[in-house]
Amino acid sequence: MSSEVLLRIEGLAKAFVPAKPVFADVSFTIDRGEFVCVIGHSGCGKTTILNVLAGLDTATAGHAFMDGREISGPSLSRGVVFQSHALMPWLTVRKNIAFAVKSRWPDWTADQVDEQVVRNVALVGLAAAIDKKPSQLSGGMKQRVGIARAFAIQPRMLLLDEPFGALDALTRGTIQDELMSIVRQTQQTVFMITHDVDEAILLADRILLMSNGSETAAGYRPGNIAETVVNPLPRERTRAGLHHLDDYYPLRNHIMDFLVKRAKAA
């Protein structure tokens, strides 16, 4: 993992009601090749932060920089995978991904586009389904296509908004392991939102614990990154072996304690 900063967030805030920002003064950095998860209760502003990073929303205050340039709108340098796969139902897997590849490299030949598509479909284990339409795929397969499409444009950063939240536990676990394998191969930088503590522990190098806005004796306190936890577990961890690692239960208990006692759920 490189020590070079790719993303810098400075004093980010979002307010729908001026006197009560959802969150305020959110600041953090992400290094190249680093996998960072943010975890917190619903309403703390996790998705809003991701949407600002994707260029799909604007902050009330503060700044977000990638490669030293302020984020001002969507860009193919940032790939996004949402909980909904967002595939075009009338196109095959091949054509769904080719559409993104051609947007990224409009001067490429058809053979170059197809080579990129085939390589990334193979990466997520869907070579046999490359010419099927989304209606012919399971939920887990559709999410794999969404991940392949995001990787196919070779983004500098991958933004994941609870991409496995709608999947059953077995499918979710399988794709988590696949994602970790792909990230290791590509050294991809990832920012991910999750509600799943074990998912964060499995995937992340660092976990940002986010608090909700709440009323206190001193007045309203906006949500914020309350704590940053560095994952002490070996990076070559697997889902099946996670609970055998010495530091797993102390880490999990620390995060659960935060969510139950200190996150101030709305």
Domains of the chain: 1-74+190-266 (3.40.50.300)
Q: Is the pTM of this model over 0.85?
A: yes
| 241 closest CA partner among 191, 197, 198, 179 | 198
Q: Is the pLDDT of residue 227 over 70?
A: yes
- Backbone conformation region of residue 43, classed left if phi is above 0, alpha if psi is from -120 to 50, else beta: left
Average pLDDT, the chain: 90
Name 176's Cβ contacts closer than 8 Å, sequence gap at least 6. Answer: 164, 199, 202, 203, 239
| Higher pLDDT, residue 205 or 236 | 205
> Rounded to whole angstroms, how far apart are CA atoms 55 and 75?
7
| Higher pLDDT, residue 147 or 172 | 147
Per-residue pLDDT band at 173 (split at 50, 70, 90): confident
What burial letters (b/e) apply to 38-64, b meaning 16+ CB within 10 Å? bbbbeebbbbbbbbbbbbeeebeebeb
Q: For 169-188, what is the mean pLDDT? A: 83
Amino acid 101: pLDDT = 95
Q: Is the pLDDT of residue 86 over 90?
A: no
Residue indicated by tokens 């522990």:
201
Amino acid 184: pLDDT = 85
Under a CB-based contact definition with an 8 Å cutoff, are residues 9 and 64 in contact? yes
Q: Is the pLDDT of residue 1 over 50?
A: no
Amino acid 18: pLDDT = 85
pLDDT in tens, 18-41: 888 999 999 999 999 999 999 998
Q: For 165-175, what is the mean pLDDT? A: 77
Amino acid 3: pLDDT = 59
| Higher pLDDT, residue 94 or 195 | 94
In this structure, of 127-141, 157-171, 212-226, the range with the lowest mean pLDDT score is: 157-171
CA 198 to chain centre: 15
Amino acid 65: pLDDT = 95
Q: Is the pLDDT of residue 124 over 80?
A: yes
Amino acid 42: pLDDT = 87
Under a CB-based contact definition with an 8 Å cutoff, are residues 201 and 180 in contact? no
